[in-house]
Amino acid sequence: MYSRITGTGSYLPEKVLTNHDLEKMVETSDEWIRTRTGITQRHIAEKNQKASDLALYASREAMKAANIASSDIDLIIVATTTPDMVFPSTACILQHKLGADNCPAFDVQAVCSGFVYALATADQFISSGKCRNALVVGTEIYSKILDWNDRSTCVLFGDGAGAVVLSQSEHPGILSSHLHASGSYKDVLSVPGNIEGGAVQGNPYINMEGGTVFKFAVKVLEDVVREAVEENKLSPSDIDWLIPHQANIRIIRSTAQKLGIPLDKVVVTVDKHGNTSAASIPLALDIAVKDGRIHKDQLVLLEGVGGGFTWGAVLLRW
């Protein structure tokens, strides 16, 4: 039994925050942001929107593309760093909003690698025959955990959601998945605050050592791509589309260059979305599917790295 992506969907909040808007908020400039990150704008959720709201829109699109109803969903996995609440899980809340009662539903927390982790997990359920259709979602509202006075982080992130339906297939779709983590880097990229006694303890905003993140990301993203292609007796040149986590254009370019993959085979959305963490890969995938870039039988490689550190890749045939 194999699993194959049968539908994709995405959602971006209506509000757009440009670099020029940020110039009025913190000491920064459009030129500085574009040069160092490649970002020109990002989408920001409304105050009353939650991660499950964004996920709902993306999920409905994916289900429509896959031509399935809520009753056909056997599993829901949501990758998010910004859940609706401490508990229940955002996946359970999404399940209720979709009317997909009684199927298993849980969250995965691997930060920017979350969607890769969630997709790999769903593949195990389907390929083992435990379920027929899995809804896999990445959804984030990072605007709620940003210090808007910190120019080193507030310019980087945006909000959004992406979703896929993963279904049983007689033909291979997901060829392999490769997941890694190293908790020794926990202080390099984190939100170290927590709730205790009804109050926030510690720093509730994103803390990041940018230089360390950059060097680590470029190294492990190259390594995990090579791991994926070597396991499948391929080379990086065989990949039709590389869809990386959209963190920073310099990381994306450096990784592609080290792998010898031309940029015209890399899906890039960071310029319009910013870093949407677990939502970035499924957002980019949905855009590339809808604009016709990705064709049947092409090899697509998804890769991500996030706080933890966590990192991983999924190689699939479309």
pLDDT tens per residue, range 159-195: 999 999 999 999 999 999 999 999 999 999 999 999 9
pLDDT digits (tens, 9 = 90+) for 79-102: 999 999 999 999 999 999 999 989
Residues 276, 118: Cα–Cα separation, whole Å: 16
pLDDT digits (tens, 9 = 90+) for 114-131: 999 999 999 999 999 999
What is the reported pLDDT for 296? 97
Instruction: Tell me what the pLDDT averaged over the chain comes to.
Output: 98
What is the reported pLDDT for 18? 98
Per DSSP, the three-state class of 30 is helix
Tell me, yes or no, if the pTM score tops 0.85: yes
C-alpha to C-alpha distances, 312 to 18, 58, 309, nearest whole angstrom: 30, 23, 10
C-alpha to C-alpha distances, 297 to 195, 239, 294, nearest whole angstrom: 47, 11, 9
Average pLDDT over residues 271-300: 98
What is the reported pLDDT for 155? 98
What is the reported pLDDT for 110? 98
**How many angstroms separate the most distant Cα atoms in the chain?**
55
What is the reported pLDDT for 176? 98
Residues 76, 180: Cα–Cα separation, whole Å: 22
What is the reported pLDDT for 202? 96
> Which domains can be identified in the chain, with CATH numbers?
2-171 (3.40.47.10), 175-317 (3.40.47.10)
Q: Are 73 and 134 in contact (CB under 8 A)?
A: yes
Q: Identify the residue with better confidence: 1 or 143.
A: 143
Average pLDDT over residues 105-110: 98
pLDDT digits (tens, 9 = 90+) for 240-276: 999 999 999 999 999 999 999 999 999 999 999 999 9
pLDDT digits (tens, 9 = 90+) for 215-242: 999 999 999 999 999 999 999 999 999 9
Q: Which residues form the catalytic set?
A: 112, 245, 275
What is the reported pLDDT for 35? 97
pLDDT digits (tens, 9 = 90+) for 186-206: 999 999 999 999 999 999 999
